[in-house]
Amino acid sequence: MPKRSLLLQGNEAVSEGAIAAGVRLFSGYPITPATEIAEYMAQRMPEVGGTFLQMEDEIAGITAALGASCGGVKAMTASSGPGLDLKAESIGYAVCAEIPCLIVNVQRTGPSVGSVTPSQQDVMQAKWGPHSDNLVITLSPASIKECFWLAIRGVNLSEKYRVPVILLSDSFLAHMTERIELPDPEEIPIVTRPRPTVPPGKYRTYDADINGVPPLANVGDGYSIRLVGNMHNKAGDYSRNPRDFDFLIHRLHNKILTNLQDVQTYEEVDIDGADYVIVAYGIVSRAAKAAIRLAKEQGMKVGLFRPITIWPFPHARVMEIGKRIKGFLVAEMNLGQIIGEVERATRREVPVVGLNRVDGLQINPYDILAKLKEMM
Amino acid sequence: MAPIIPHAEIREKYFFTDILPTPWCPGCGNGSMGHALLQAIHRIGWDPKKIVLISGIGCNGYLTRYLRFDDLHALHGRTPAMATGLKMARPDLKVIAIQGDGDAAAIGGNHLIHAARRNIGITTIISNNYTYGRTGGQYGPTTPKGGISTTSPYGLEEPPFDLCNLMVAAGANFVARGTAYHVLQLIDLFERALTHPGFTFIEVITQCPTSYGRKNPGKGMSGPEMLLWQKKNAVPVEKAAGMTEESLRGKIVTGIFIDRNRPEYNTEYEKIRQRAQKGTGREERN
C-alpha cells in the first residue's frame, strides 16, 4: 500500500506530528501566524477522540494544557511571540513542577505587537522567557517534513525529561507548503513519561537523584501526587531549606545537561575540509544550503552547521569545528542572538561574523554568498 | 441535617498528619472552611483517589498540601484554567478548585468567569477574607469600601466585587455563599455544590484576624470577634431580596444564589467528538 503523501503547510504538519505523537488535548488562543494550528486541531482533535479548547487568553491556553498533562493526557499549545510573552509564567511553572507539554512558537517580526512576517527573533526568549534559571528544550525545524517529525520529537523529549519543549517555527515555515509522506503509525517512536515503580504509599512526586527525572504518576491513580511551582523537596512539600533549593535547581538543569547526546541534534553539510562554516537554523538554513552550492561553483570551501536542537545549544560541537576553520558566518533573522552562543563556544578564537535581517523578509543565498566573500 | 463526623476521624482519614500543623495563624477561617469541605466529601462518600484539589496562591492554598488527595498547586489565579484542561482530559475525576479572593477575582478573574461561562464540571471554592493575607494584608477586589489595609492606609475608595452575583451572571450552574461561622450550613452547601453537575461555586467568608481584622473596623477584631461579626451580619439571600441596598451595607448575604441545570461543557463536547468521529460532523451542523 502506498504511503499517505500530502501537501501540507508547516502549521498543519506540526499539528499532524503532535497527533501522531499522541497529543490528545490542544488548548490555545487565536494569534497570527499560529492560528491555523488551532483551526486544524479544532477539527482533528475530536476526530481522534481528543479535546480542543479555545481558552480565554494565552495564559489559559498553556495552563489548560498543563492541567490535561497532569491527568496523563499528552497536551500542547501554540502561539506566536506576543503569546509566548504571556505564556512565560506557565512555562516556568512547567519547568519547576516538571509537567510535560509541547509549546509551538510561530515566530513573527518585531518587539511588542510587531508584525506577522517571519523572523527568528524569539530564540533568546525561548531560553530566557520565564524569570529565574530555567532550562527548556527548544527545537528548530527547517522544512515541512521536519515540522512533522520535530513535533513528534518535541512531545517525546517533553515526556522523557518531564520538561516543556518549545518548537520554534516561523511564519515562513508555517505557511509554506511542501510534500510530506506520512509514516505508518508503527514507524513513529512514542515515548511516555517515566512511570512510578513503587506502590502508591511510597511514591514521592519529585523522587530522583541529582541528575534524574522523577517518575510521574497521573492524577487520579491514587498516588497522592503534588505538583508545585514552589521550591520543594522530593515529596513535593514546599521547602524553605537552602539545600532543597540548590538540589532542585541543579537537578532541573542536570536532567537535561547530562543527556546532551540524546537531546542535541544537528545537521552538518560539507564541514570536512571547509574553510568557512555557516551557522544557520530553521528556514535560513535552506538559503545557506543554496549559498554553499553557489560558493562551491566559485571554488570556495564552505560548510553548514545547523543546530536542530537550539537549546541547549551544541557548544561543544561548535567549539570542535571552530578549531579547524578560518571563520564562522552566523546567518539569522534577528539582530544577532545565536551568534553570541557561537562566540561563547569558540571563545572568540576564530572570527565570527553575523549576517542579520529584521525586515521580515528571508535571508537569500546571494546575501550569504556576498558576506562569505567579504570574510575571505 | 446529616450527621457530623468526629474531628479526629476526619483528621486521620484525610490529613497527612505527620506534617501538621498548618502554617495558618491562630483564628484563621481557612481551617473551618477546609473542615467543612472534608465533612461534605466524607458524607458524599467519594473515592479519595478520584478527587483532585487544585489550589492557587494565597494562605488558603496551604490546605491542599495537607490532604490525602492529588494536589495541583497552580499559579496565582490560573486555577480555573488548569482545572478546565484537567477536567476535559479526565472527566472521570472530581476536580475541586480552591482559591482566595485575590487569586480568583483579581489576577485570575478572567479564568474564573470563563470557567463559569463554559459551565465546566468543576467546583470552585473561594476563601474570601477580604485581603491578601499571605503578603501581609493589602486590599483586594473584595475588600469592603473604607477598608484599612497596608495599601489603603487612608481607607479604600474602590467598591468591592460581589462574586456570587458575578458567577450567576457568568453562567455558573450552582452559586452559594456561606461563612466560616455557619459551619453546618457550609457543609450542606459544599455537599450540594460538589454533587451538582456543571460549574458550581461557593464563596466562603473567612476571617483573617492577622492581616485584616487587626485594622478593621476601627480598633479591629480578633478571630472570635470576627466570627461573631459573621454571625451577626449574615442575611439569608431570600430575606435580602426584600431589603434595600442601604440596609444591606456591611451585611453578608448567604445561601443559594442560583441552582439550575445548564448543559455541562464536557458532556456537550463529547457530542462533538461523536459527530467528528462519524466524519459527518460539520456538514450535519449546516
Terminal C-alpha separation, chain A: 52
For chain B, the domain total comes to 1
Nearest to A219 among B84, B90, B275 (CB): B90
- B34 domain-assigned: yes
Domain with A354, as residue range(s), is 264-375
Nearest to A59 among B69, B78, B85 (CB): B78
- B1 domain-assigned: no
Output the pLDDT for position B286: 40
Those residues whose C-beta lies under 8 Å from the C-beta of residue A238, and which sit 6 or more positions away, are A228, A230, A231, A232, B65
Residue A192 has pLDDT above 50, yes or no: yes
Q: What whole-number distance in Å separates Cα of residue B240 and Cα of residue B238? A: 5
Residue where a domain stops, chosen among A187, A210, A237: A187
Same domain, residue pair A11 and A138: yes
Residue where a domain stops, chosen among A161, A187, A213: A187
The string of pLDDT tens digits covering residues A210-253 is 999 999 999 999 999 999 999 999 999 989 999 999 999 999 99
For residue B224, the one-letter residue type is P
We report the CATH number of the domain holding residue A331 as 3.40.50.920
Same domain, residue pair A176 and A269: no
The string of pLDDT tens digits covering residues A62-99 is 999 999 999 999 999 999 999 999 999 999 999 999 99
- A313 domain-assigned: yes
Please give the average pLDDT of every successive group of 10 residues along chain B, which has 286 residues. Answer: 85 92 95 97 95 95 93 97 98 98 96 98 98 95 96 96 97 98 98 98 97 91 96 97 94 98 97 90 50
Residue A203 with chain B: CB contacts under 8 Å: none
Going by pLDDT thresholds of 50, 70 and 90, the confidence category of residue A2 is low
For chain A, the domain total comes to 2
Does an H or E element contain A93, and which? Answer: helix A81-97
Nearest to A90 among B72, B75, B84 (CB): B75
What is the pTM assigned to this prediction? 0.96
User: Quick check: helix, strand or coil at residue A48?
Assistant: coil
- A198 domain-assigned: no
Task: List alpha helices for chain B, DSSP H.
Answer: 7-14, 30-44, 62-65, 79-89, 101-102, 109-118, 163-170, 183-195, 223-233, 237-240, 265-278, 281-285
Same domain, residue pair A16 and A146: yes
Mean pLDDT of A175-179: 96
Same domain, residue pair A178 and A272: no
Residue of A nearest to B90 (CA): A71
Q: Beta strand pairing status for A137-139 and A309-311?
A: antiparallel
Same domain, residue pair A183 and A269: no
Residues B37, B5 contacting (CB under 8 angstroms): no
Residue A65 with chain B: CB contacts under 8 Å: 85
Q: What percent of chain A has pLDDT over 90?
A: 98
Mean pLDDT of A97-119: 97
Output the pLDDT for position B217: 86
- A157 domain-assigned: yes
We report the CATH number of the domain holding residue A100 as 3.40.50.970
For residue A167, the one-letter residue type is L
Q: What percent of chain A has pLDDT over 70?
A: 99
Q: What whole-number distance in Å separates Cα of residue A56 and Cα of residue B114? A: 7
- B219 domain-assigned: yes
- A41 domain-assigned: yes
We report the CATH number of the domain holding residue B41 as 3.40.50.970
Output the pLDDT for position A4: 81
The string of pLDDT tens digits covering residues B135-158 is 999 999 999 999 999 999 999 999
Higher-confidence position of A368 and B284: A368
Residue where a domain stops, chosen among A187, A217, A238: A187
Same domain, residue pair A322 and A176: no
Contact across the interface for A225 and B71, Cβ inside 8 Å: yes
CA distance A10 to chain B (A): 23
Cα separations in angstroms, B146 against B70, B141, B159, B160, B225: 40, 13, 9, 10, 19
Q: What is the ipTM of this complex?
A: 0.96
Domain with B170, as residue range(s), is 7-285
